[in-house]
Structures are given as C-alpha cells and as structure tokens.
Structure 1
C-alpha cells in the first residue's frame, strides 16, 4: 500500500486586511493545483480522500478531473482547528503566529486558545487514518513496534489535506513519537506531495518515507509555504 499525501495549494488567508477562516485558493494557488494535477495525471490510485476545507477541495478538483474519479470527503483530514478569526485584522493574526513558537511547551500541546488542542488533533488524525486504511487492508501488526499488516502492497491511496494533517500521518505511520509542531519537522510547501512506501520487516511491514514535499512540478516563483 503506497500512500501519497498532497498538501493543498496556496490559500487566500486574508482579503482587504481581514482574516478569512476557511479560505479559497489564490489565483497562484489555482495554478499550483493545476500543475500538480498535470504531474499526477498519469498516476492511478485505488482510492482518493479529501479534506472538507475549501482550500483542499479546490486543490483536489483538477486532480480528480484528470484522474477521472470521485473522492469521499473525510472530516478527520481537516487541519488543526484554529479559532474563527474571520473579520479580524490579518496583522493581529500574523503577530499571534509570529509569537507562537516561543510559548512554553505545555502551551503547544494545548493549542491556540479557542482552538483545538494538539492532543485532540493527534487522536483525531491517527484514529482517522487507521480507520480509513483498515478497509484497504492496512492494520497494525500485533503490538511489535511500528509495523503494519498489509494485504496488498501494490495498492495506492491518495490523500488531499494539509501540512499538519499530513505531517501527523507521516509520523504515525513511521512510528515516530508525536510533537505538537509536526509541520515544522516534516516541511511541505503548497501543492507538494509526499510518498510513503511499504517495506517488509520481520513478518510485517514498515513504511518508508520515499519522498517528502515534492514540488518539481512548480517553477521557483510558484513555490510557496
């Protein structure tokens, strides 16, 4: 079971100086998504899953079109939920994020006040990915470390989601202890994709991070984070 994780293209986080809570893509983001779709147009997937957020749905549209498939929307793929800042001056939100890395560690686990805690986010994503992969023949292998039972290693699944969601999936499937800044240790630019491939170990399977944040389909001027 090969797993491909797409991060959404560039969103319009602010307009007229005000923050947008669930933003659409920018014009550049739509072009990023189109180029990513072209990159994936010759691929084949047994299943595709998409986050409910507008930026992920709009990124998925050209991909699903070139693949000629439909995809279920999976609520568990949503990014770490922030407070609703719609209408808040974007400069205030930007300043909050500039200060966020310097908070005490326990505050990182608790998340942003008014939003989802990272602990809850981690449970939501890890339980979601396990429940989604189980019908595809991927389940935990006994209790012997971060190994998996995989019925058919040739199958492929595509997820269109977010930096934090995808980073949490990667860490979980690799068996790495979580931290509340997953998106900083697994960096993925907009409209990039990452690939996890199975490798047989000790009677089970381990996932290998074969590719992280691939943006070869984007020229330098279109690579945004």
Structure 2
C-alpha cells in the first residue's frame, strides 16, 4: 500500500492573476515561503521515504523547505512539471478567460491542446506514469511526497478516483495544500484532498494492519462498507 502525498507549491507573485506555466525564475513570494514552512512543520512527524519535485523553482523551494530538517534529498522528475501552456504562458487569467479556448478548458479539458504547447491528456499521462513508476521503485510500504502544480495534481487525483479527465475541473488543489492517495493492488484510495491543516501521523499505515479500518476480514484493497471507523 504505497502512500503518495501530493503537495502544491506555495504562492508566487504570479499565482492567481497570471498563468505562469514554465515561465523561468518564478520564485515563492514571502507568503509562499511562509506556507511552505508551515507545511514542513505539519509534515515533520511523518517519515518520508522520498521527496520528489517538479523542476520549476516554486516547487523546488517548497520541497526544499520540507526536506530542510531531514536526511532525505529532493529528487527531480520533469514528468511532475507544470503543463506546457504554450502561447498562454505568462498571460493574465482575465485575458485568457476571453479566449475561445477557455470554455473548452473548463468543460472538455480532455480535448484541449494549448496552442504551441501540450495537451492536458498528455499531462495526465506523463504524471500518472511517473506515479506508477515511483510506486514500483519505492515499494508497497513507502510513504513519499511529490511537490507539483495545480493541474498536474488534479489530473493525478482524477485518475485515482476513476474520473474522466473532463471532470478534473471539479477538483481543487490550493497553494501549499496536501493531497494523499494510497495505492493498493486493487484500487487507489484518496485519503485527503486539498488539505490545509491537521495531523498527518495517520497517513503512515500501522505496521501489520491489512484493512483500512483494521478489520480482520479486510485486505488493503478493500473499501470499508458503511464508511468504516476512520484512521484515528
């Protein structure tokens, strides 16, 4: 049961008003640095088997804040990098909202290829392939963190929930939020989504526990019918 923690990078001066994409030298703002440090404090009690990051500065800086007091180094995987938005890169969101492609991005993202850039389906394919490769590499008992971007995280979550990519705009990934997915042989379980606070200790499965709620007849892949008793 490999547990993946997805952290979105903290705020930057461009986050919100501008589609930063792969714009170079976009660093965390003062508020973003504070968010990254707060996330690092939250995650401090949790042992991480790996910390992986998008190559972009805002993710690297967020990941480095989490890794600061650990022996774990930050590894880079370009497949967790932001969508290549092509001609949309660096443009104000208010301007892009008037583009004829905008309604398609909102309602049918699976059909979108950004002009001069990448398709959202290609983003999902590379990100999910990366997750599966890291799961295999780190093993079924691993808990690891990936620092990435909003659309990439939403695409991974949509895959884990069995949603068509056209539904991924229903998912939210705020700056410095934490999303947790546990991958079992049968299905993934989304444990947390867009989590901005709270204890993380329960995200590492108890040694020797097979069922999600500790039931002796459950396997790690079984859903707890009726909802179960939780992880507390």
Query: In which range does the TM-score fall when normalised by the shorter chain?
Result: 0.7 to 0.9
1:27 is aligned to: 30
Following superposition of structure 1 onto structure 2, how do residues 23-102 of structure 1 map, counting pairs within 5 Å?
23-83=26-86, 91=92, 93-97=93-97, 99=99, 100-102=101-103
Question: Higher RCO, 1 or 2 (CA under 8 Å, sep at least 6)?
Answer: 1
**CA contact 2:109–2:165 (8 Å) conserved in 1:** no
2:148 is aligned to: 161
Structure 2 stretches of 5 or more lacking a match?
199-232
Large movers: runs of 4+ above 6 Å: none
2:127 is aligned to: 125
CA pair 98-12 structure 1, distance change in 2 beyond 3 A: farther
> 1:122 Cα shift?
2.1
Structure 1 stretches of 5 or more lacking a match?
138-151, 218-225
**CA contact 1:37–1:66 (8 Å) conserved in 2:** no
Once residues 135 and 160 of structure 2 are traced to their aligned partners in structure 1, the CA distance between those partners, rounded to angstroms, is 11
Indicate whether 1:208 and 2:189 are aligned: yes
> 1:176 Cα shift?
2.7
**CA contact 1:38–1:66 (8 Å) conserved in 2:** no
CA pair 211-107 structure 1, distance change in 2 beyond 3 A: closer
**CA contact 2:121–2:165 (8 Å) conserved in 1:** no
1:5 is aligned to: 6
**Between structures 1 and 2, the one with greater strand share:** 1
Deviation digits for residues 131-151 of structure 1 (CA, Å, limit 9, x no counterpart) = 2222223xxxxxxxxxxxxxx
- Partner of 2:181, secondary structure, is strand
